[in-house]
Amino acid sequence: MNNPGIRYFHLYDTNPSPVTGRPNRVGKVFPDDRIIVFDDEEIVAAMSYATNRNFTLPAPRVGLVVPGSCGGDVDGILDNSTEVLWVTYGFGGPWQGMHCNYYQRITGMSGDTPSTMNVTVTFGGDFAGNDCMTQGTFYGYSANQFFVLAQRTTSDVLRPNPADWRLIDFTTTLSDAGYVDANGFIDPVGMQSLNFTISNTNYEAASAYNINNFLRLPVSDTDSELNFGDEFYFYGEIQTDIEATIYEMRYLINLPNNQFVNSSNPTWTTDFTPHMSEIGLYDSDKNLVVLSKFQSPQIREGIQQVAVKLDF
């Protein structure tokens, strides 16, 4: 990395992706500088106090569907392969937090049949579980509003415009399907059971997304609210395991029955039972190159084999 080179390792989480089956890369570890850097958009958002949430949201899955399929809207949103729809989502409720920071990009179909396409938004089972989305309990998080954020651009646009997002509210879709309880909280099962379709009709009717309606952000340099990066809070726990390659050499030493049974210590006599406290390895010129010590003296008796292990 850079010139002449900064050594780093990729940092992965322990949650395999439902698409690839592999853990997700979330940052880098710089062992020489003793620095861990997170560059995953959702983790960075959850670590900021200003986002008003200390949990991450899963990425939405987007796909194309023929307008009017299964009784859906016949007014397609993408006319051809030169049009793109950017998609993410968010929740509202007793708390107001930042939307999901995984932005998906999907391109329309090429050719004349079909001429237009709608976009579906689906989710896996990431919301279920006692520690994830719940319905007003004391653990996890709860929501009584679900909305999709969408922005239509041409295919040559590399990044969406922050001012052009539209908010499409799908809370009624969940409620009509029976996935909102009597207290107004969304059932997480409904998030993985339903398809949410973006058509030209609900896109054109959608209101502009204003993040200030969901977050308390400063609007001038005299405001007392914290902006992104102004705080030093950290929620959660980091556990790292730097996996390095260790080379090991094992040197086996065979001790015959009648050798290495005496001591050069002048106080030693044959009345004492010989013990071994250390082993030395010498090169061909009889220079000591390795000295290995036992944790405690070992009795020297009969035919024995000792292994000297070197790690490097």
Phi, then psi, of 27 in degrees rounded to 5: 175, -160
Residue 46 lies in a domain: no
Mean pLDDT, residues 161-185: 95
- 153 lies in the same domain as 207: yes
- 135 lies in the same domain as 279: no
- 110 lies in the same domain as 160: yes
pLDDT of the residue at 22: 86
Q: What is the CA radius of gyration of the chain?
A: 32
- 208 lies in the same domain as 253: no
- 134 lies in the same domain as 263: no
Domain end, chosen from 193, 213, 233, is at: 213
**Residue 285 domain boundaries:** 248-311
Residue 6 lies in a domain: no
Nearest CA to 98 out of 41, 136, 138 is that of: 41
- Residue 23 pLDDT greater than 70, yes or no: yes
- 75 lies in the same domain as 193: yes
Express each pLDDT in 269-289 by its tens digit: 888 888 888 888 899 998 998
Q: What is the mean pLDDT of the chain?
A: 86
- 258 lies in the same domain as 181: no
Model confidence at 138, pLDDT cuts 50, 70, 90, reads confident
Instruction: Retrieve residue 39's tokens.
Output: 């560059």
Instruction: Retrieve residue 34's tokens.
Output: 């003793």
Residue 241 lies in a domain: no
- 174 lies in the same domain as 295: no
Distance CA 278, CA 92 (A): 69
Model confidence at 12, pLDDT cuts 50, 70, 90, reads very high
Instruction: Retrieve residue 86's tokens.
Output: 């950017």
Residue 297 lies in a domain: yes
Model confidence, pTM = 0.69
Please count the structural domains in the chain: 2
Domain end, chosen from 213, 238, 273, is at: 213
- 82 lies in the same domain as 194: yes
Model confidence at 242, pLDDT cuts 50, 70, 90, reads low
- 86 lies in the same domain as 202: yes
Residue 219 lies in a domain: no
Residue 31 lies in a domain: no
- 260 lies in the same domain as 304: yes
Domain end, chosen from 157, 187, 213, is at: 213
Distance CA 124, CA 187 (A): 14
Instruction: Retrieve residue 12's tokens.
Output: 């992965």
Which residues contact residue 312 at a Cβ distance below 8 angstroms, ignoring those fewer than 6 apart?
Answer: 246, 247, 248, 249
**CB contact at 8 A, 188 and 146:** no
Residue 72 lies in a domain: yes
Residue 26 lies in a domain: no
- 71 lies in the same domain as 207: yes
Express each pLDDT in 59-105 by its tens digit: 999 999 999 887 778 889 998 889 999 999 999 987 778 999 999 99
